[in-house]
Amino acid sequence: MLARRRRPGRRSQASLRRTGSARYPVVPGAEYARRVDAADPLPDRPAPDNPQGKLVLLRHGETEWSRTGRHTGRTDVPLTEHGEELARAAGELVRGYDFRLVLTSPLQRARRTAELAGLDAEIDPQLIEWDYGGYEGRTTQDIRAELGYNWSAFTHGVIRGETPGETVEEVAARASRVLTRVLPAMVDGDVALVAHGHYLRILAAVFLRQAPRFGASITFGAGSVSVLGYDREQPAILAWNHGPQLPLEPPRS
């Protein structure tokens, strides 16, 4: 078999990503397996039919990586100053809801968003962002230049890296487990989930009974709020991608 030739002048994948630093650590593989892959037990009874509470989704505020379009999965990047402003504004948007359950991803950008939004959130490891594996920290533009075609995570998937990576369907399976937990709480009131852009788009697709890749068609800006619920017996989008102002272009990541 012929060895694959490296394109002249191109840096290695490891040198392009630079994610394993003390400042922005990647969640270690062993911890990742313990906290995320150890699935929560399913409930004793199935989810209720047509609960009347609302499912409020908050995407964390802006980070330096989200601002520059870098895929940010397990790397623990903090909010920017603007990201903190967006988190506070999101709190104003959800002030009137009757939350019986509030869950957040364990990563600091989500936990800090919940705090600034005035939400007393419980950590749920199943809400952690998509594991991008070898594409962690890289932009879509950079990945497409390397591959030579119009790559996207939803269409083509990711590769192994410092973490094993996940398929779209594996992210959807985690989202499905979260929904089995939150739907019973929606019988008594509203539920808020504070998490990440790609993850919440996939969770919304699962809630709407669509294929996980439907999430590619619903963008979700940093610091924005979306609301899911039921219209009669059908799961529905009640509001989507609301922030301090209407988006002028799709989010970079």
Mean pLDDT calculated for residue range 66-80: 97
Q: What is the pLDDT of residue 46?
A: 84
Arithmetic mean of pLDDT, 144-148: 98
> Nearest CA to 228 among 209, 202, 212, 204?
204
pLDDT tens-digit readout, 200-249: 999 999 999 999 999 999 999 999 999 999 998 899 999 999 988 777 77
The residues carrying an active-site annotation are 60, 129
Q: Across the chain, what does the average pLDDT equal? A: 88
pLDDT tens track for 116-136: 999 999 999 999 999 999 999
Whether 45 has a pLDDT exceeding 70, the answer reads yes
Query: What is the reported pLDDT for 41?
Result: 80
- The 10s digit of each residue's pLDDT in 102-118 is 999 999 999 999 999 99
What's residue 91's pLDDT? Answer: 97
pLDDT digits (tens, 9 = 90+) for 4-24: 444 433 444 443 444 445 677
Name residue, tokens 């230049």: 145
